[in-house]
Amino acid sequence: MWVIGLIVLLVLAFAVVPGLVSNHTKRTELGFSKFSSDVSAKQVKTAVVDNTTGVITGQLRNGVNYTVNGPNPVDNSFDKTMLKDGVVVNYVTTGQSLWPTIIQGLIFVLLFVGIFVWFYRRSQGQMSSVMSIGKSKARLYSTERPKTTFADVAGYPGVKQEIKEVVDFLKYPSRFKEIGARIPRGILLVGPPGTGKTLLARAVAGEAGVPFMSVTGSDFMEMFVGVGASRVRDMFQTARKEAPAIVFVDEVDSIGRKRGAGIGGGHDEREQTLNQMLSEMDGFDATEGIVMMAATNRPDILDPALLRPGRFDRQIVVPLPDLDERLPILQVHCQDKRVDDDVDLALIARGTPGMSGADLANLVNEAALHAVRRGANAIAMEDFDAARDRVLMGQRREGTVLSDEEKERVAYHEGGHAVLAYVLENADPVHKVTILPSGMALGVTQQLPLEGRHIHSKEGIEEAIVVRMGGRVAEMLVYGDLSTGASNDLVGNTELARKMVREWGMSERIGPMAWGSQGMVFLGEDLMHSRDYSENMSGIIDEEVDRILREQEARAFDLLSKHREGLNAVAAALLEKETISGADVARLVDEAYGRPVHENGKRSAVAQLDGAIDALDAPATLNGSSEDISVGQGNGSSHTSDSPEGPEDGPVATAGSQPGSTRPAPGHSS
């Protein structure tokens, strides 16, 4: 910048100064004829003749300065005339000034030097980046940095206690060494997405009082061979200099996948990086005072050598928050929001089972957006209700207009789900039924369990299949034909029935035998894997799955035939009001039946209403018309679980979508 400024000043000086100098003396310009007559009249006092240009300057006897363009070259006879007439004549020879030439040359020199310096610095930056490509990208946080502490993390007292032991060891090592306790070499945070694993690691950085290095798994990978391993070495060298220190690797599964897996054998560069990390964590050279922390939501794909004692000694599960943890999480996210006094966060916490911390943050934000859309100054309870429906069922599609025939079919489809969910003893109670298109669904039946369950009985799973069959059977019973509305109902039911037979031992013909689900080919687990049961057994499995589905379909047909009047009443109410509650479903079915369906009254309209408000602490189930979709547990979703415990204790949704399309609820797989 200073070079550019100097050049500008020189150019201005070159352009302005000569003009100022030349205009310093004011002169009157005379013609040569007038000048000759003035010389003859003896009016000219002095004359200065420029031999180069022929210009004559001087002063008249009356004191006027003049300038004349004389002959060039100068005529000697005219010179003699001026001398004869008493004019004092001087001759000068002027040459071109050297300053313009010097300034022009200086400008070019300065431009050349400036360009050279610019290219030199650019090349130096590129060389430094190339030379530092093997340096670790870990960010080092010291104790002077702004802190996030455990007080800023709502819930998870058990998780914080386990991590706090490591923090205490680093802060007060003598307390543990007195009895010979050894600090865990590594801590692996495992849990679903959005549960706050990285937030807990930031809290450790604030609580530890020791240097904290943070890096993501993808920071180790580059296009150059050996860069990942070099960065691992550099990271541990830096940590040793700062010891005691904590090293946190987020998304460790990106470099910690099983070695030698997948088509083609594996990824050599990633395996070299993993090998270097294994060596640094527990290799020939011991690393004292360094604690490794890592976070992942895919512990099943990590290399076994990474999980053995001496590497990651302790695995801490960060689960989805329960009721007691959801309330403080909601309170944290509502701190900077303007919330009405009538908002009951405890009730909202009971109505959001299965939601992670990120889901709850999104719920509060959706409620705030809904309050802004309706022009309110604060977030009210109705905004939270609308936000929960938005998260679970999707955005309401105001522009979708159904014909009368389609609306009636959707009403009977949803009515079939709702009636069966009410009349079956072990089915989750109905919370809401609507035929308003939401998300990809044309209609939704939402169920809210009254209590959390972790083990599911065979009878409960069969009744879940019956409820899913409700939409299909209702259409068969009323219209005598089928539509595309039950496609995902059938997918979910087939998956449940197959798990009952293959994994949960719920088939008398198969007996106490189980075969787990197929592994992913990209992990190399099933690339050359042959089926571990015979063709005959495969046929028996198919027959048992077919038997279960047909038996539950016949059961659904019998129940809906028995409560046909209740089905008609629920469908009529849906066509009239478009949205009805679970208590309305119970009342309509009981009135059409002529007496309470459940003699003990536990599933009456009052019980339905009380249960939906006061005893809610399990995810909801949504059943819907047209291409039904099942939603995963994270925000109250997933009709089935991949775990041996059976269907997940979560809001399970079968929400109707347009024919020909199937899509899981936001953020979850069906």
**Cβ within 8 Å of residue 192, ≥6 positions away:** 297, 319, 320, 356, 633, 634
Bridge-based pairing of strands 139-141 and 245-250 is unpaired
Length of the chain: 670
Whose structure tokens read 């802190």?
A: 147
Spell out the long-range contacts of 234-238 with Cβ–Cβ below 8 A and sequence spacing 24 or more: 234/134, 234/135, 234/136, 235/136, 235/138, 236/280, 236/287, 236/290, 238/136, 238/138, 238/140, 238/213
Beta bridge partners of 314: 187
Q: Cβ(91)–Cβ(75) under 8 Å?
A: no
Where do the DSSP E strands lie in 229-322? 245-250, 290-296, 314-317
Distance from C-alpha of 616 to C-alpha of 352, rounded to nearest angstrom: 9
Q: Which of 269, 271, 325, 414 is catalytic?
A: 414
Closest CA to 294 of 305, 306, 310: 306
Distance from C-alpha of 536 to C-alpha of 532, rounded to nearest angstrom: 12
Closest CA to 661 of 627, 634, 613: 627
Distance from C-alpha of 339 to C-alpha of 589, rounded to nearest angstrom: 38
Angle formed at CA 224 by CA 222 and CA 227, multiple of 5 degrees: 70
Distance from C-alpha of 564 to C-alpha of 209, rounded to nearest angstrom: 69
Distance from C-alpha of 57 to C-alpha of 209, rounded to nearest angstrom: 88
Closest CA to 235 of 213, 209, 259, 202: 213
Distance from C-alpha of 254 to C-alpha of 221, rounded to nearest angstrom: 9
Token pair, residue 610, equals 């009380």
The CB-side HSE value for 287 (13 A sphere, CA atoms) comes to 29
**Cβ within 8 Å of residue 134, ≥6 positions away:** 226, 227, 230, 231, 234
Whose structure tokens read 């946080």?
A: 141
Q: Is 414 an annotated catalytic residue? A: yes
Sign for the CA dihedral angle at 664, 665, 668, 670 comes to: negative
Sign for the CA dihedral angle at 437, 442, 447, 448 comes to: negative
Q: How far is CA 184 from CA 190, 255, 300, in A?
A: 16, 21, 21
Q: Cβ(442)–Cβ(626) under 8 Å?
A: yes
Peptide bond between residue 193 and the one before it cis (omega within 30 degrees of 0): no
Helices (H), 132-172: 157-171
Token pair, residue 545, equals 């799955």
Helices (H), 580-664: 582-593, 605-614
Q: Cβ(244)–Cβ(286) under 8 Å?
A: no
Q: Residues with catalytic annotation?
A: 414
